[in-house]
Chain A
Amino acid sequence: MNEINKENINEDNSKNNVLNDSKADEVSSEAAKESIIVRENNFISQSPHIWRGISSAKIMYIFFASLIFPSVAAVYFFGLRALWVMLASTITSVVVELIIKKARKKNFKMDGSALITGLLLALTLPPRIPIWMVVIGAAFSIALAKEAFGGLGYNIFNPALAGRAFLAICFPTFMTQWYLPGNSGIDAVTSASPLGESFVAEGSKIAFYRDLFFGNVAGSIGETSAMLIIIAGILLIAFRIIDWKIPLVYVATVVIMSLIFGEDILFQVMAGGLLFGAVFMATDYVTSPVTGLGRIVFAIGCGLITFLIRRFGAMPEGVCFSILVMNGFTPLIDKYIRPKPFGYVKPQKAKQAK
């Protein structure tokens, strides 16, 4: 009989484990660790008892590392100024996250997600933006777009894009002042973004494409170099950090739309933030659908809206808003596009109706 009691308790423990875990918000992970140590003798491990070991934090840091490519391009083309923007944004993000976690009495875990948000935001800003504006944008990204929804995993909109959209609406003049690379002095020459209507390509077309490819054009600090973004994207796909479907379908949609409307395809793809958005922004796990088909639908939506804004909208660039709009659709996509369960047959009624 003794046996039963003992096992009963163990059984209860294992069930409690699950229930406790469900309230993981209340139980800080430190406390959980402690309880494991205390109950080491009768801790029941849940199956499976092995784990691949690729943690969220690891994925985040690999993603962060891939952002080094556009960051290097940013510093190369726009000088130290770009570095200050990136540093300001990243540091603000981490500090704001730390403050909010402490204020909400939650456990702060350095998982790299705030770093990514901060750097992503910086890379989408114009080079000459005042630093205080960068700080405001980064704080908005973390505080309102991410933590207000419940933190990593619960935000509806991509925090970096939300921050950029916020800045674009609040400070439109600063956010649309572009500078040609190489002019780091005070007397820098303002220039239209390649996508701006007033922009006229100088010199031969091939030289212009070359500049677009290597990044020697005006634009946000991280989005100009198509080459480095493509390299980073290929690496991310090879390491299975991002799904190939989103960037590929996104770009393909824009290409097809350009064909239909007779736009310059190479220009549409390489100019502006399309590649940057497709590789780094639209592929954000939290704000994109989880199923393969859902991701394709999401990417097509992004591509269509991007093109429509570029062609018919008031703004020269539509990547940021198109991804934000599709972020809003993500819960719906996940609700209605589900994989068919293995061996699923339509219920009998549907068959008879035919």
Chain B
Amino acid sequence: MTIKRIKFTAGLKLPENKITEHMPVVRLDLPSKVVLPLQQHFGQQCNLLVKKGDTVRTGQIIADSDSFISAPIHSTITGVVSSVFKMINPLANSIVDAAEITASEEEDVQYLPVNQVFEEIKKDLEGFKDNNEAEKYLADKIKEIISRINGLDNEEIISIVKNAGIVGLGGATFPTHVKLRPPKDKQIDSLIINGCECEPYITADHRIMLEYGMQMLIGAYIFYKVLNPGKVYIAIEDNKEDAILNIDSLIAKSGLSKSFCVVSLKSKYPMGAEKTLIKNVLKRKVPVGGLPLDVGVVVNNVGTCKAACDAVLRGQPLIEKIISVTGAVSNPGNFIVRIGTPVSEILKCCGGFKSEIREIILGGPMMGNDINEENFPVTKAVSCILIKRGLPRNEGHCIRCGRCVDICPMNLMPLNYVNFVKNSKFDMCREYHISSCIECGSCAYVCPSAIPIVAYIKTGKSILTGK
């Protein structure tokens, strides 16, 4: 059953430009080398467990940390660790260690052990070349799989999710196993699966819901089993009609209609941001500085669900990701790529740059980062490679029109941060709740003076946190 939330919702109507919407996901050839930053998640950086010159297998853990909020890093190809170095991660604005692995000829897979109840399914799944067959197979066996998942121990599932290195694939990269272990005093009553994908251009989640719908649903069910919330809401924007229908029919097929439902949301930016999503689906407001846990909600991305399904059913750790390559490239599309594949290799597979434009944006046009470095790898945080002319902003003076105040989904006054940061009044930034800003970019998008407000806010935030 689809719930429709079509009432007036605040937000921006952006030109969607989803040019890769109807392009099926294609698996790219294995890369000749991968670069793996040792921190691809929110939290503690991992320690490298291998040395330069070691041989590693696909799926082998090469870095891990003792910290609770952390996720291990796996080698995503088979090969030799050719160098270990420091690099700047423009996505997190920090310097991280990274390992480069050069591929050897044969792929040698070392996956996680799966529970014996899934051994048979794993073998069957390995037999399929085509994803559609696997989907059909899973759909046929869904009732059996669900009962087997019910038989699993929660701790076992959490440890599989942790060992698989699964983090939130929507971009925040918060380790998923932490979300699955809420504090005892917090009652979780709702799980929201985020399939909004409100940024223009990106279509990876859309394709996951269309082509990997069953796997996504199994992943969602795994989270459901662990968290035991009363209800699961799969939130999809109404510009993805086909995805809504597909997921709806899959829910009906798997007999989960009682606890699972699809919520169709108006496509307004930033609908997919965690806080606005919870507000629009459940009418609850996450308190300032709080987590969704505080209002009894856990939010997971559809990509995360698929990764969880891969980990539990096949033992495959998070070594690949579905991304969109779009914008001014010769052959845009949606691709499964190994994490760590340098952007340049992916672009080569897509026929390279279409025009003079050379600006590479990792992520969508609203929140993505212009990396200006073709050799930067696809990390767990990347869901899109966008080739687009950047904005050489001709910054004017603020005319106090108040458009940024009207549009801000967090009810802040973005224009003030610009003044405060220009005049180094960082205490005032704190007083005006700068940390509540989700950096969605709505304010800078509407600003008639073309002020890069988000850049000022990021500067203010990083000075306040002492980075």
Contact = CB atoms under 8 A, between A and B. Distances in A.
B is bound to A: yes
Nearest to A286: B400
Greatest chain A CB density within 10 A among B86, B388, B398, B459 is at B398
Contact of A3 (B85, B93, B396): B85
Contact of B415 (A47, A290, A339): A290
Interface string A160-195: 000000000000000000000000000000000000
B82 interface: no
Contact of A36 (B367, B392, B444, B459): B392
Contacts of B178: none
Interface string B5-43: 000000000110000000000000000000000000000
Greatest chain B CB density within 10 A among A8, A15, A47, A341 is at A47
A153 B398 contact: yes
A134 B452 CA distance: 39
Interface string A124-153: 000000000000000000000000000111
Interface stretch (B180-188, B347-355, B404-412): B404-412
A4 interface: yes
Chain A interface size, as a band, is 35 or more
A285 B399 contact: yes
Interface stretch (B206-214, B254-262, B282-290): B282-290
Nearest to A45: B390
Interface stretch (A48-56, A76-84, A93-101): A48-56
Contacts of A108: none
Contact of B366 (A17, A48, A54, A286): A48
Nearest to B437: A341
Interface string B442-457: 0011111110101110
Contact of B397 (A154, A291, A340): A154
A43 B444 contact: no
B135 interface: no
B390 A18 contact: no
Chain B interface size, as a band, is 35 or more
A10 B369 CA distance: 13
B90 interface: yes
Given A342-B285, A343-B275, A343-B286, A21 B395 contact: yes
A18 B413 contact: no
B320 interface: no
A46 B433 contact: no
A341 B436 contact: yes
B455 A51 contact: no
A49 B369 CA distance: 9
A7 B88 contact: yes
A345 B454 CA distance: 25
Interface string A30-58: 00110010000111111111111011101
Given A243-B402, A341-B436, A343-B287, A291 B394 contact: no
Interface in A329-346: 338-345
B455 A17 contact: yes
A286 B411 contact: no
Contacts of B421: 22
B452 A46 contact: yes
Contacts of B433: 341, 344
B87 A341 contact: no
B401 interface: yes
Interface in B339-393: 358-359, 361, 363, 365-370, 372-373, 375, 386, 388, 390-393
B450 A51 contact: yes
A6 interface: yes
B445 A341 contact: no
B3 to A, nearest CB: 23
A301 interface: no
Contacts of B456: 18, 22
Contacts of B148: none
A154 B391 CA distance: 26
A21 B369 CA distance: 19
A44 to B, nearest CB: 5
B426 interface: no
A47 B413 contact: no
A345 B412 CA distance: 14
Contacts of A265: none
Contacts of B455: 17-18, 21, 46-47
Interface string A286-300: 101111100100000
Interface in B284-304: 285-288, 290
**Considering the complex of A and B, which 6 residue pairs feature the smallest CB-CB distances, nearest first?**
A45-B390, A48-B441, A290-B402, A153-B397, A343-B285, A7-B88
9 contacts: A4-B88, A4-B95, A11-B93, A45-B361, A49-B361, A290-B401, A295-B402, A339-B405, A344-B411
